[in-house]
Amino acid sequence: MRNILWFLVMAAVLGSCTGNGTKEVYKENPVVHPTTPYLGAQKCKECHASSYLEWKQSDHFYSMQKATDQFVRGDFNTTFSADEMDYRFFTEDSTYQVEVTELGKTKKYRVAYTFGWHPLQQYLVATENGRFQTLRASWDTDKNRWFHQNSGTIVEPHDWLSWSKGGQNWNTMCSSCHSTHVQKNYDQEKDSFRTTYQEINVACESCHGPGRGHLLAIESNEKDPYADLLSATHQQKTDNCATCHARRTMLEDSGDPSMEFLSHYFPQSLNTAFYEPDGQIKEEDFVYGSFLSSKMHRNHVTCINCHHPHTGKLKKEGNNLCLQCHDQSYTASSHTHHSENSEGAQCINCHMDGKYFMGNDYRRDHSFRIPRPDQSVKYGTSNACNSCHTDKDPKWASKNVVNWFGTDRAYHFSDDLIPGAAGEYGAMNNLKSLLANDSVPEIIRATVIDYLKINTSIEVSQLIIDALSDKEPLVRLKAFSSLMYFPENYRTQYGMIGIKDEIKSVRIVAFRSVIGVDPLSLSPEMEQIWENVHAEYLEYLKTNADFPSGQLLIGEYYMTIGQTNQAINAYFRALKMDSLQLDAYTNLTILYSGQDQAEKASLVLDMAIRVFPNHAEFYYFIGLNEGALGNDDAQIQNLKRAFEIAPKNPKYAYNYILLLHQSGQQKEANNFLNSVLKTQPNNPKFLELKKYFSLN
């Protein structure tokens, strides 16, 4: 019986499951190698003086600078305390210093760099192994005061989001978008960085690419590589900005600009982990995903239609910005139902609602949507009306909208997306409708697959299989990533199709399904394709090895190819980075169990339960592990605990009831079984168990 239980749990979990020309940031006087293809902003200035001066007004110019009197805005002659942390800011020998006291321990750091300019400025300090950490204490440049990121929250030092851990690490989280031509150069064996950049801030070549080819083309009268950006499509221009203005995962150790975004990055879909159910921003989403969902993007509007490409500032003030394209009548009170020139009559306040991030940084949603307080009433989503009228509720706002515009609403994808995100009964039809609608933005159709992928019905499986050949690469990307929820034979069959895709991100997610394929069993042509994508996948794993999620993928890779020790090392690296990585505990348990090392599995589960004291699955694992150790009473007790925490989970209930019966507690087993059958009367497993009990 114990062997059967171990098989069940394992099956369930496995199924769910510097070069030349660069500057090392910790050197004070780096020198650019003369053979680098990057020339630097000072060289660009020789021919483009006006653009250079415009750039010096931009947030890009201030994205990162050395901590000197010219750039430091904070008060470094004061103290500050918040959330059980104390700071003393001071200067010493012409340098900026900070003492940080946490958990009774005080440590002194030199502030190496400033980060940003307005509305807040952050500060980077050097720590061990080439790391630069962002202080949690930040300077509010409007109110001229120190404040805490995530104020009011105690962040434990072992948490990934602690200021001293990976979530606030410059090398991992910030560097690729705050400097030019960054390479992290992370060494996972040493757990160290040798991060380099070409220029300290976001300079000309961060957007235009290395300038040497441009200069040589001008001198030789050949084709200018910079001309590609001028003649690019609206999607390519948007993709170029998305290099940094997107929530995304890098496929290679380079944040260099690209007009082919999906060949260098995985973008985040608009699922509820980061967005509201209707697709509005919830977390720090960096514009791109929202903008892809907008009517503006569908009508070929690009970032630089509204934002000056060099200053980054808006091209026009107020409603004049929108009137570049829209009719003057949209500013009339008959449309806005607010007094002309009032705050309520500003287009952006109704159609670009926003949220505060990083404490005081207000960022607007770029999905450009009509306010829907009716959806707020039904689903609790945000709406622009109540963002201003905070003393009123959504019912009040919805009533006013009906009075002004009647009861009919123009269709918006959110009408179908919200029911799917909320898991409403019958929402499958809403999601199917979105997926089949080519007029719906591709990022919304990709998000639909995120919601569908955990549904294992034949109908849904066929929908995802059909999406594998969708014309939109973003939809194909999500479809191929969903293959991990399919049976192995389907994963292999369709994964081999995906690794031939023209888009790199699609190839990489498809390769995850065929890692275990023996390339020697393939035709010579397919063997070569498999090997090529294998190399791309390994590069992707290496690039993200400084993330706990990256170590989970590395562990999965080694598990799949049968290199257990490497997999175990990866999962422990993930836990060292972030003790809250639930899947790392799970997979370590599986690996040790598969090696008949129940004692080691027990140690892992002891750690897990301290971090997740109410996680039913871990009690279930502990119960199975105690059974493997021959501790029958402990096995029953822990399975009971799992059942108590999650009584509707049929796996916990089935195994707990069966063990009770086999341990001689037939009456208790029958009582529990009858209580479960009241809530799951048609579950064939429990009906079979009832029949088995009646015969025994």
| DSSP assignment of 191-242 | TEE--EESBSS--HHHHH--SHHHHHHHHHT---TTHHHHT--HHHHHHHHH
| Residue that is written with structure tokens 């309520």 in the block | 344
As a whole number, the mean pLDDT across the chain is 92
Task: Reduce the DSSP state of residue 100 to 3 states and report it.
Answer: strand
Confidence at residue 22, expressed as pLDDT on a 0 to 100 scale: 52
Q: Which of 108-117, 125-134, 240-249, 679-688 has the lowest mean pLDDT?
A: 679-688
Q: What is the separation of C-alpha 298 from the centre of its chain, rounded to a whole number of angstroms?
A: 24
> Between these two residues, 279 and 22, which has the higher pLDDT value?
279
Confidence at residue 533, expressed as pLDDT on a 0 to 100 scale: 98
Q: Are strands 23-24 and 65-66 parallel, antiparallel or unpaired?
A: unpaired
Task: Identify the CA nearest to 520 among candidates 509, 531, 510, 511.
Answer: 531
Can you give the pTM of this predicted structure?
0.91
In which band, very low, low, confident or very high, does the pLDDT at 455 lie, cut at 50, 70 and 90? confident
Q: What is the separation of C-alpha 304 from the centre of its chain, rounded to a whole number of angstroms?
A: 25
CA atoms of 156 and 170, how far apart (whole Å): 19
Say whether pLDDT at 15 is over 60.
no
Say whether pLDDT at 59 is over 70.
yes
Phi, then psi, of 360 in degrees rounded to 5: -140, 15
pLDDT digits (tens, 9 = 90+) for 237-258: 999 999 999 999 999 998 888 8
pLDDT digits (tens, 9 = 90+) for 518-573: 999 999 999 999 999 999 999 999 999 999 999 999 999 999 999 999 999 999 99
What tokens appear for 525 in the block? 């042509």
Confidence at residue 230, expressed as pLDDT on a 0 to 100 scale: 83
Mean pLDDT of 338-342: 93
Say whether pLDDT at 50 is over 70.
yes
Mean pLDDT of 5-26: 38
Task: Reduce the DSSP state of residue 576 to 3 states and report it.
Answer: helix
Strand partners, 115: 122
What tokens appear for 200 in the block? 């300290």
pLDDT digits (tens, 9 = 90+) for 163-211: 999 999 999 999 999 999 999 999 999 999 999 999 999 999 999 999 9
pLDDT digits (tens, 9 = 90+) for 99-121: 999 999 999 999 999 999 999 99
Contact 114, 121 (CB under 8 A): yes
Say whether pLDDT at 14 is over 90.
no
Q: What is the separation of C-alpha 127 from the centre of its chain, rounded to a whole number of angstroms?
A: 25
CA atoms of 324 and 695, how far apart (whole Å): 80
Say whether pLDDT at 6 is over 50.
no
In which band, very low, low, confident or very high, does the pLDDT at 23 lie, cut at 50, 70 and 90? low
In which band, very low, low, confident or very high, does the pLDDT at 695 lie, cut at 50, 70 and 90? confident
Say whether pLDDT at 8 is over 50.
no
Contact 89, 75 (CB under 8 A): yes
CA atoms of 452 and 432, how far apart (whole Å): 9
Express as a percent the part of the chain with pLDDT over 70. Answer: 95
Confidence at residue 694, expressed as pLDDT on a 0 to 100 scale: 84
CA atoms of 359 and 339, how far apart (whole Å): 31
pLDDT digits (tens, 9 = 90+) for 637-676: 999 999 999 988 899 999 999 999 989 999 999 988 998 8
Say whether pLDDT at 11 is over 50.
no
